[in-house]
Amino acid sequence: MSTESSGKAAKATLRAELLEARRRLTADDAQGAAAVLAERAIGLGELTGAGTVAAYVSVGREPGTRVLLDALHARGVRVLLPVLLADNDLDWAAYEGAERLVRAGRGLLEPAGARLGPEAVLEADAVLLPGLAVDGRGMRLGRGGGSYDRVLARLAHARVQPPLVVLLYDHEVVARVPEEPHDHLVHAVVTPSGVRRFTA
């Protein structure tokens, strides 16, 4: 078996375990974590000077981003949110408040405003990306759609290097995330117990 296919299989196994663990979280667990995560994330140096932040709307038992989105929006930061395209690539639109979010496919909430195009993410001064796990190198495991792999490839191609930050639960910082050649490292992870930065 090639390194690539074994990485893919190992990712699928770890992804299933972590999604199952998230499903077991109670609403109270999730709400408690979201409040602490928001407080930590709002104070991040990576976000304090940012004029534009690319983020996402947490759904289900994902580590909560809603309080953070409102705090950034209230601070005058331009917050870009993803819009899932048919091929799993991401378009972007500005966050205009919770009342301007609409239900989309796959349980997602997406911004109702004008689509800015997939290249809009290149304007972000920091990128908050979803994940299921990260390891001590900053290797991230996503949902497997490859959406953020494409975002990260697009940033690398344009030679822009905004800080890449993942919000996770504590147990999702793991010893090792299986990797494939297309994977990119992130710079920091925020969990309820703290912030960890990775140096390449």
Ligand X SMILES: Nc1ncnc2c1ncn2[C@@H]1O[C@H](COP(=O)(O)OP(=O)(O)OP(=O)(O)O)[C@@H](O)[C@H]1O
Ligand Y SMILES: Nc1nc2c(c(=O)[nH]1)N(C=O)[C@@H](CNc1ccc(C(=O)N[C@@H](CCC(=O)O)C(=O)O)cc1)CN2
73 is an interface residue for ligand X by CB under 6 A = no
- Per-residue binder mask for ligand Y (CB under 6 A), 64-103, x = binder: ------------------x-x-----x-------------
147 is an interface residue for ligand X by CB under 6 A = yes
Smallest gap from Cβ 85 to ligand Y, in A, equals 10
Question: Which of 56, 92, 95, 148 lies at the binding interface for ligand X (CB under 6 A)?
Answer: 148
108 is an interface residue for ligand Y by CB under 6 A = yes
Question: Which of 75, 115, 171, 182 lies at the binding interface for ligand X (CB under 6 A)?
Answer: 182
145 is an interface residue for ligand X by CB under 6 A = yes
24 is an interface residue for ligand Y by CB under 6 A = no
Q: Between residues 57 and 188, which has the closer beta carbon with respect to ligand Y?
A: 57
- The full 3-state SS of the chain, as one line of letters, equals CCHHHHHHHHHHHHHHHHHHHHHCCCHHHHHHHHHHHHHHHHCCHHHHCCCEEECCCCCCCCCCCHHHHHHHHHCCCEEEEEEECCCCCEEEEECCCHHHEEECHHHCEEECCCCCCHHHHHHCCEEEECCCEEECCCEEECCCCCHHHHHHHHHHHCCCCCCEEEECCHHHEECCCCCCCCCCECCEEEECCEEEECCC
Smallest gap from Cβ 182 to ligand X, in A, equals 4
Which chain residues interact with ligand X by CB under 6 A? 11, 141-150, 153, 180, 182-183
